[in-house]
Amino acid sequence: MADTKSKALRERRTELSQSLQGLSQKRDHTYRLNSDALALDRAGVTNHAPQEMARLKEDQVGADEAIRAAQREIRNLDAEIKSAPSDGLGARVGRALRLGRADR
């Protein structure tokens, strides 16, 4: 059962890691859109509606938050994976060694 949980944690971590590239591209795109709109607005070349400027800013902030949330979840999963009991050969050997030391 512990092996199943550990496998599920690793699969979720892999999914999140793979999604980071797409999230990063989205963040870069929203940053460019917002930055370009601000620069054009400051230069007086174009006049975006205040609602459009607010939406661009919110999109950029949302993309940043999505990346931070994925990174935070990856760190949490790493901690869970590290602390999860394992039923593999290495875990059995480790338990046997610990039990052998406790008998002395």
103 versus 83: the higher-pLDDT residue is: 83
Higher per-residue pLDDT: 101 or 8: 8
Which range among 21-25, 61-65, 91-95 shows the weakest confidence by mean pLDDT? 91-95
Domain boundaries, the chain: 2-102
- DSSP structure class, residue 44: T
CA pair distance 97, 22, nearest whole angstrom: 45
Tell me, what amino acid is at 92? Answer: R
- 4 Rama class: left (phi>0) / alpha (psi -120 to 50) / beta: alpha
Single pTM value for the model: 0.70
